[in-house]
Structure 1
Amino acid sequence: MTTQSGARSAGLDPAAARAVLDGPAVDRALTRIAHEILERTGGAEDAVLLGIPTRGAVLGRRLGELISRFEGHAVPVGSLDVTMYRDDLRLKPARPLRRTEIPTGGVDGRLVILVDDVLFSGRTVRAALDALGDLGRPRAIQLAVLVDRGHRQLPIRADYVGKNLPTSMREAVEVHLSETDGRDCVLLGIKAGA
């Protein structure tokens, strides 16, 4: 099982885990986010979606498909690996590098919408901002997340949120997506062994 950052985790204690979003609820949350993006950006004409691997990249592709279906034009979608920009590289085991895929046309002068599965401390988003700065100069940057669980350590907030989920520090949130895990759901529970 993997955590919101894609790293291996001990998993949730099955006896204490509960689903807070099932498959249809995940679909509704993504549909709502796609509509909010279209409303706030006036049709997402100059938007680029960049998902943070692993699950953020999957969610970015899904949002791109929804926006394309609703608006009738494709929104460029890519992925942004933040591994080498993390501030905990020396504190945690080595992580595999993921792919960074920047759509044709790049990010200069565009509205970049970063997409991730869970917003927690804000450190992954900070790393994404640093990585994005090495790729170009967007006109603006926004953040879309499926779940905001609170406990920020940095002054970062999401522009688009599928579900605000207040949690304790003892709890963990796991996002499962059919593309990576075989089913769509969001689980909340206590980490196994905690």
Structure 2
Amino acid sequence: MSEVKTLVLNHKQIQQKITRIAYEIYERNVQEETLVFAGLTGMGYVLAGKIAERLKEISPIAVSLIRVDIDKTSPKIGEVYCSEPGPYTDKCVILVDDVLNTGKTLAYSLFPFLQDNVKKIEVAVLVNRSHKLFPVTPDYTGYELATTLSEHITVNLDPENATVHLH
């Protein structure tokens, strides 16, 4: 028996969500000279790159993109690394992931930035499942989706055929 997948967002809809998130980030950070996009391992990093590219097209804000390496299945405080070591003092960091489930992974991914005196940290996600167990709330959300904990979200950010499926 094959697994049933429900299309949640198609390629065009994902592009629209990315554009809207980029505009929202610009509106809230118009006074900033630089923003650091910190994408979580995997699709979070790909999404961060797409939002950063779109922001560069619509604003004069300088953008840097880094990857936050974290084990999403079992995050631990001492095992979160950034592809660029920083420092991030007085920087505005946009932490990006594809899906927000309980908030645990995003909470642990704050660790490298909390060691520096960052100016502020904002969170952007493509899909918010609203199963909040940790005190992490996204500042920028592409799509709110009520799901059960047993359901899964699959994000594919392929340049030609990006999709989000529920299964």
| Same-fold status (TM-score > 0.5) | yes
What TM-score results when the alignment is normalised by the length of structure 2? 0.88
Matched, 1:62 2:17: no
Q: How far 1:174 sits from its partner (Å)? A: 0.8
Q: Structure 1 residue 17: deviation in Å?
A: 1.0
Aligned position for 1:173: 153
The verdict on how the C-alpha distance between 1:131 and 1:19 changes in structure 2, with shifts beyond 3 A counting, is: same
Gaps of 5+ in 2: none
The verdict on how the C-alpha distance between 1:43 and 1:14 changes in structure 2, with shifts beyond 3 A counting, is farther
Aligned to 2:102: 121
Of the three residues 1, 26, 30, the one matched with 1:42 is 30
Residue ranges of structure 1 left out of the alignment (5+ in a row): 1-12, 89-96, 190-194
Looking at secondary structure, tell me which structure has more strand per residue: 2
Q: 1:160 to 1:14 in 2, by over 3 A?
A: farther
Give the letter for the 1:40 counterpart. R
> 2:114 aligned with 1:133, yes or no?
yes
- Cα separation, 2, equivalents of 1:61 and 1:163: 18
Native 8 Å contact 1:114 1:141 kept in 2: yes
1:53 and 2:53 correspond: no
CA distance in 2, matches of 1:14, 1:139: 48
Q: 1:100 aligns with which of 78, 82, 96?
A: 82
**What is the percent sequence identity of the aligned residues?**
31
Partner-residue secondary structure (3-state), 1:30: helix
8 Å contact 2:67–2:82 — kept in the other structure? yes
Across the two proteins, how many residue pairs are aligned to each other? Answer: 166
2:141 equivalent in structure 1 = 161
Query: Could you tell me the TM-score, scaled by structure 1's length?
Result: 0.76
- Provide the secondary structure at the position in 1 that maps to 2:82: coil
Q: 1:87 to 1:101 in 2, by over 3 A?
A: closer
Q: Does the Cα contact within 8 Å between 2:81 and 2:112 map onto a contact in 1?
A: no
